[in-house]
Amino acid sequence: MGRKEEIIKLVEEGFTTAKELAKHFNVSLMTIYRDLKELEEEGRIVRRHGNIELKRDESIRESACAVCGKEVDLRLAFIYILSGGRKVHTCCAHCGLIAYKSLSKDKVEMAITRDFITCNPINAFMGTFVVGSSATPCCTPSAFVFADRENAERFAKGFGGYICDFAEAVAKMEELMKAGQKVNISL
């Protein structure tokens, strides 16, 4: 078995960093990085924030955001359900709005998130969004979803931001991202 095949086996067993692999094989980090680069180009692994993972048939994992790769916190999660039952998970409404632009609109059957105040599940397409407020629990520019407009207005009164429906929120997020607004991603 070649080293690349052994790397795949070790990653399956729980090795997650190049440093661990280099130590196991007693080779330099540069040697392992070359192997990892080849494995990544072959589509067999994915490197995220210094960790190595096997590439799954389903490239979007439920525990990691499809946009930024952060761990998905179910209180802020934004989930698209596509035709065929496939789900696209994002860590927050910010990433959910960004993801929508890249999804095939005819395949999106549903979008689910939680009301920011009650944490009750809601249809994201029917929610009221506050985009670009000063509050940032996850990614920036921030986006929050509310089941009713009144709570969104109260929130915006205290923290600022633009009050939008879903389509307006997608456009506003795109505008803010293109404008070069600082993006904070906690890793």
How many CB atoms are located within 10 Å of the residue 164 CB? 21
CB 121 within 8 A of CB 112: yes
In a domain, 165, yes or no: yes
Domain that holds residue 131: 78-178
Same domain membership, residue 123 and residue 34: no
pLDDT digits (tens, 9 = 90+) for 52-72: 888 765 444 467 888 888 888
In a domain, 134, yes or no: yes
Same domain membership, residue 154 and residue 116: yes
CATH number of the domain bearing residue 7: 1.10.10.10
pLDDT digits (tens, 9 = 90+) for 88-146: 899 999 999 999 988 876 689 999 999 999 989 999 999 999 999 999 889 989 999 99
Mean per-residue pLDDT for 157-181?
Answer: 90
In a domain, 84, yes or no: yes
Split into its structural domains, the chain has a count of: 2
Same domain membership, residue 146 and residue 106: yes
State how far the Cα of 89 lies from the Cα of 5, in Å rounded to an integer. 30
Going by C-alpha positions, the residue among 145, 140, 147, 150 that lies closest to residue 168 is 145
State how far the Cα of 164 lies from the Cα of 161, in Å rounded to an integer. 9
Same domain membership, residue 173 and residue 97: yes
The residue out of 21, 38, 54 marking a domain boundary is: 54
Same domain membership, residue 113 and residue 173: yes
In a domain, 65, yes or no: no
**What pLDDT is stored for residue 95 in this prediction?**
94
**What pLDDT is stored for residue 61 in this prediction?**
47
Same domain membership, residue 162 and residue 83: yes
The answer to whether residue 14 scores a pLDDT higher than 90 is no
In a domain, 67, yes or no: no
Same domain membership, residue 168 and residue 120: yes
Same domain membership, residue 140 and residue 92: yes
In a domain, 155, yes or no: yes
In a domain, 40, yes or no: yes
**CB under 8 Å to 77, separation ≥6 — which residues?**
89, 90, 91, 92, 113, 114
Start-to-end CA span in the chain (Å): 35
